[in-house]
Amino acid sequence: MNLREIITDAIKYPISDTRKFLIFCALIILMSLSTVLPSYGLKDSTIALILSLVTFIVLFVVLGYSVEVLKGGIEGDETLPDFDYVKQFIIGIKAMILDIIYFIIPAVIVIIIASATGLFSSFTEIVNVGINSLANETTNVTTIIAAVPKSTMNTFTNALSVTIVAAIILFIIFSLLSFTALVRFAKFESGTEGLRFMEILKDMKNIGFIKIIITLIVIYIIALAMVFVIGLIGLIPYVGVFIGIFVGVPFVVLFLYRSIGLLYADAY
């Protein structure tokens, strides 16, 4: 499918089955109660604990259902999948573990780079200088910074720049890999498939790296525009937040996962 067809299909998809869409909306509301209700004055600790537990459980169900939406996009299903809460809860846990694995790797690499470039040691030295200055009752920020040796400041600045650039590059690379890994997991219903790096790269090559990047950029720009509209709706007193969460957030989630599923359908 081309980009226009993917976007058009994904926008229509959430309301392909009104009943299932409303159930998904209800799940999103349940998942959000622990953060929304306190803003309306709820302070009971017992209720807050129960709501947090509900959020934790429903989060995995929502994630698992989203993975099945992804699978439906790959396989060309026209309507929302059926609900199987236990199955989708398990799928959600597996999907979360897969995501964590893919973002632990770049995190570890970034830590190694930061350490190797002297970011941690120079930062520690800067902090020590600041503490000593404060102990000597020096509170002027300019004076404290001036007390830091130029070599230390240069090391810190250079190390920070290198680390940030490396982090951005690694985040982009592993985000693309994690998307494809999640797609393989959804397609084959196997976490092992999501870790087969050579097959993941092969799938990306079949689709086209440029097509994947451009499509994801467009998808996320549209999603951000939707989120902006949801934010405006949320400004409506009392009911705005619930309207935004009940309709807007579920729509955006289904739009994103459907779009990604359709994008990767060409790999299979």
In one letter, which amino acid is 128?
N
pLDDT, position 254: 95
| Contact status, residue 164 vs residue 51, Cβ threshold 8 Å | no
- Provide CB contacts within 8 A for 122, sequence distance 6+: 152, 153, 155, 156, 159
pLDDT, position 50: 83
pLDDT, position 250: 92
- The region that residue 60 occupies, defined by phi over 0 for left and psi between -120 and 50 for alpha, beta otherwise, is alpha
Domain boundaries, given as residue ranges, for the chain: 3-267
Which residue stretches of the chain have pLDDT < 70? 36-42, 44, 134-142, 144, 238, 268
pLDDT, position 137: 61
DSSP string, 52-98: HHHHHHHHHHHHHHHHHHHHHHHHT--SPPPP-HHHHHHHHHHHHHH
pLDDT, position 6: 92
pTM reported for the whole predicted model: 0.81
pLDDT, position 68: 95
| Contact status, residue 140 vs residue 65, Cβ threshold 8 Å | no
